[in-house]
Amino acid sequence: MDKMISTANGEVIITNDGATILNKMEVLQPAAKMLVDLSKSQDSAAGDGTTTVVVIAGALLKQCLLLLTNGIHPTVISDSLHKASTKAVDVLTAMAVPLEISDRESLIKSASTSLNSKVVSQYSTLLAPLAVDSVLSVVDPAKPDMVDLRDIKIVKKLGGTVDDTELVKGLVFDKKASHAAGGPTRMENAKIAVIQFQISPPKTDIEQSIVVSDYTQMDRILKEERNYILGMIKKIKATGCNVLLIQKSILRDAVTDLSLHYLAKAKIMVIKDVEREDIEFITKTLNCLPIANIEHFRAEKLGHADLVEEVSLGDGKIVKVTGIKDMGRTTTVLIRGSNQLVIDEAERSLHDALCVVRCLVSKRFLIAGGGAPEIELSRQLGAWSKVLHGMEGYCVRSFAEALEVIPYTLAENAGLNPIAIVTELRNRHAQGEINAGINVRKGQITNILEENVVQPLLVSTSAITLATECVRMILKIDDIVNVR
């Protein structure tokens, strides 16, 4: 099920992403804040399983309360939980199936599983392959286990439907080209410069005023300004540059109307107000250098592309740069949607899918979903607890019972009888069906691996490890001291 979040300023968010929900909540209780941070940690480590990690932590805390009530010391419980989580990771690793990065179909199945619970789940056949292709296109052969998601730019544009979402091999700017004085809006064989200086009359860094005593001095000032701007544009044109990307300036206009007039006459296409944080991505994509001063404007600092054009999308316009020469290992995803709520949720869902594929690139193992690994962990840890002595075995058994909260909650959310489902899962796993899990679509227990409901091993191991660490930290706190 999804949640609608209404913020104090009237913003409405519809999502079922655990990290987003917890991040927006006003949490005051210190231990609850630790759970919010736990969800953030899972989001940064694996990108998915943000709800799972908090649910497991909550179930473990509930079991710890029972153990404390029975007189077991917190240190004994903490040490036992650590041993249980280490054993759990070993069991999960033994259950995992190796994956080759060239196996595109398996990657798509994993991405689809992460999208199945989202608002945009009906678009998983589009978004899952898109996420896989995006990640694979930015993997560096020199570092095949590393993926930087900052190399994948997500641009949101209102209009159309999620079906219109596309992967662009190039750059997309959510703004139109400058039309002042009839400047060009399409440029073939583009030579692109990314500039970080202003094409406007110079101003000193100190605050000062100029007193003009007569009109001839005023004419002279205007003439000098025109000559200064014209000189800059001649230097730009001399390098063969025909497309300018101008960084947004917070101090003054990055480009004046007079500058735009001269640039239009020189047949130079202008895209202004490029955000500072986008400059690194743009220069990496274009394989060029940003230019901080007109004196450093050189032809070798330009990027080259087959086409830069302004495109109409619904009521708005975007600028696309395609056919980039010697393009860096980056890619752009253009997300479309009928309203802002859908677009924002599509972005969050796509981010989760990208993170899942990134997990599989860094740790190439798959594991079944649908509550199958948790039930198998519960069974094996329960059996292991019987060979342990004293309180340790009792604590490990409680850990095993806590893990059953995942299939229980999954069955409950699917409208099934959770007690009957969990009982049947136990029986099936006891008979050796380690991949038996809850098939939400069919409303029954099936071999979940054959149903292509899979997830990265890293998501499951990270969730159990982080949840255990958080619970152990809370467990060792015996008092809260309020200070000034």
Instruction: Give the CATH number of the domain where residue 275 resides.
Output: 3.50.7.10
Task: Give the model's pLDDT for residue 205.
Answer: 62
Q: Are residues 312 and 428 in the same domain?
A: no
What domain range includes position 216?
Answer: 170-326
Tell me the mean pLDDT per 10 residues along the chain, length 484.
Answer: 82 83 85 90 85 93 93 92 94 90 88 84 91 92 87 91 92 88 88 90 71 78 85 92 89 81 91 91 93 90 93 87 92 92 90 90 89 92 90 92 92 89 92 89 86 88 94 89 82
User: What gap in Å lies between CA 264 and CA 178, rounded to an integer?
Assistant: 9
User: What gap in Å lies between CA 290 and CA 166, rounded to an integer?
Assistant: 28
Task: Give the model's pLDDT for residue 206.
Answer: 65
Positive or negative, the CA dihedral 474, 479, 480, 484 is: negative
**Which candidate in 43, 151, 344, 352 is catalytic?**
352
* 338 neighbors 160 (Cβ within 8 angstroms): yes
Task: Give the model's pLDDT for residue 159.
Answer: 85
Task: Give the model's pLDDT for residue 47.
Answer: 81
Distance of CA 274 to the CA centre of its chain: 21
Task: Give the model's pLDDT for residue 166.
Answer: 92
Task: Give the model's pLDDT for residue 466.
Answer: 95
Beta bridge partners of 192: 243, 303
Domain ends where: 300, 326, 352?
Answer: 326
Question: Does residue 132 lie within any of the structural domains?
Answer: no
**Which candidate in 15, 17, 285, 461 is catalytic?**
17
Of 185, 82, 103, 94, nearest to 360 by C-alpha is 103
User: What gap in Å lies between CA 74 and CA 64, rounded to an integer?
Assistant: 8
Known catalytic residue at 330: no
Known catalytic residue at 239: no
Question: Does residue 250 lie within any of the structural domains?
Answer: yes
Task: Give the model's pLDDT for residue 24.
Answer: 84
Question: Does residue 123 lie within any of the structural domains?
Answer: no
User: What gap in Å lies between CA 180 and CA 170, rounded to an integer?
Assistant: 26
Task: Give the model's pLDDT for residue 28.
Answer: 85
Question: Does residue 412 lie within any of the structural domains?
Answer: yes
What CATH number does the domain containing 81 carry? Answer: 1.10.560.10
Q: Are residues 43 and 185 in the same domain?
A: no
**Which candidate in 15, 20, 43, 50 is catalytic?**
50
Task: Give the model's pLDDT for residue 441.
Answer: 81
Question: Does residue 115 lie within any of the structural domains?
Answer: no
Domain ends where: 326, 356, 380?
Answer: 326
Task: Give the model's pLDDT for residue 390.
Answer: 84
Q: Are residues 319 and 374 in the same domain?
A: no
Known catalytic residue at 165: no
Q: Are residues 411 and 318 in the same domain?
A: no
Residues whose CB falls within 8 Å of the CB of residue 278, separated by 6 or more in sequence, listed in order:
153
Question: Does residue 126 lie within any of the structural domains?
Answer: no
Question: Does residue 121 lie within any of the structural domains?
Answer: no
Please give the tally of structural domains in the chain: 2
Q: Are residues 224 and 301 in the same domain?
A: yes
Task: Give the model's pLDDT for residue 219.
Answer: 81
Q: Are residues 178 and 321 in the same domain?
A: yes
Q: Are residues 188 and 318 in the same domain?
A: yes
**Which candidate in 15, 51, 461, 465 is catalytic?**
51
Known catalytic residue at 69: no
